[in-house]
Structure 1
Amino acid sequence: MPDLQPARTRPPRSHGAVPTPVTPFDDSAAAVANLDPALLTALRRAATAAAADGVNLLVNGGWRSPEYQEWLFTEAISTYGSEAEATRWVATPDTSAHVSGHAVDVGPPAASAWLSEHGAAYGLCQIYRNEPWHYELRPEAIDHGCPPMYADPTEDPRMRR
């Protein structure tokens, strides 16, 4: 018998949903406008340099409301079958760097690849090996390079609150 539960509706753009990727300059998107100002400045500088190299850097995710992050976490549990497996891909609202505006997900793959190669010059670092799209600001990376990546969020001490 099919599941007759109604599909859960994705929260709106005002909660940080990005149904279609946007540029880092789109202040009408809550996912961009609510990013930490230092992260947003670095992201915009990197996007400008990437464009000069012919790479279009887009935002697939950025700031999220706690409600949207909870929705994503619940969806991940459904997708991956357990809370333990879901936490390898999606943080809870109380641990997510997206909720605080300190993380951004970029695309398309060419932009992630460009940022992987050039992001440290802007203080933008990939944090998790399993998420090549997830970047956070690490200003010390400008002089010292990005820190070693965690395999996935379960290795990140910030996720153990």
Structure 2
Amino acid sequence: MADGAVPGGTSVFDVEVPGVANLDPALLEALRQGAAAAANDGVVFVVESGWRSPAYQEHLLRQAVFEYGSEQEAARWVATSETSAHVAGNAVDIGPADAAAWLSEHGSGHGLCQIYGNEPWHYELRPEAVDRGCPRMYADPAHDPRMQR
């Protein structure tokens, strides 16, 4: 857990879990507001992944290279520790599917936006989305200019 692995059933209110506690405070506040609104609709947010240490991110990347067979294919799913929004505390993966769907429909009202078309669970804070809606998604992380460092 100290590296950012999140136990099953973790809530956005579980401050004793480093994967939640180390998220950017503004992102965490938006998530908590979104979770409260979603609860009114009978939807519960579960944090599948949040902040990650660089070592844990590299571990996940090595696993993805093994699973997908190449660094190029793995880059569609897992960023390096230098480019990952998770390592910076600026991204969260939300489940289950009904929670991610709720965020897809209502998240912009809280500044929470899906960033990648292939990752319906991955959300980042975009405060301007409250007034303007979420920006267009990238097909996957490999198309995100932030990942090209």
Q: TM-score, normalised by structure 2?
A: 0.99
Asked if 1:96 corresponds to 2:84, the answer is yes
* Consecutive unaligned residues in structure 1, runs of 5 or more: 1-12
Q: Distance in 2 between matches of 1:58 and 1:18?
A: 10
Offset from partner CA, 1:71-122 (integer Å, 9 cap, x none): 0000000000000000000000000000000000000000000000000000
Q: 1:75 aligns with which of 53, 57, 63?
A: 63
Distance between the aligned counterparts of 2:99 and 2:142, measured in 1? 25
RMSD: 0.5
Structure with larger Rg: 1
Counterpart mapping for 1:22-101 below 5 A: 22-101=10-89
Count of aligned pairs: 149
Among the aligned pairs, what percent are the same residue?
A: 66
For 1:120, the aligned partner's letter is S
Letter paired with 1:148? R
Further displaced range: 20-29 or 124-133:
20-29
Structure-1-length-normalised TM-score = 0.92
State the partner residue of 1:111: 99
Q: Which residue of 2 aligns with 1:8?
A: none
Secondary structure in 2 matching 1:15: coil
For 1:129, the equivalent position in structure 2 comes to 117
Distance 1:60 1:156 in 2: 22
* Counterparts of 2:64 and 2:141, CA distance in 1: 14
Q: Which amino acid aligns with 1:48?
A: A
1:142 and 1:17 mapped to 2: Cα distance? 30
Measure the CA separation in 1 of the matches of 2:122 and 2:85: 10
Q: CA deviation at 1:18?
A: 1.3
Structure 2, unmatched stretches of 5+, are none
Which stretches of structure 1, 4 residues or more, deviate above 4 A after TM superposition?
none
1:151 is the counterpart of 2:133: no
How far did 1:147 drift? 0.2
> CA shift at 1:143, angstroms?
0.1
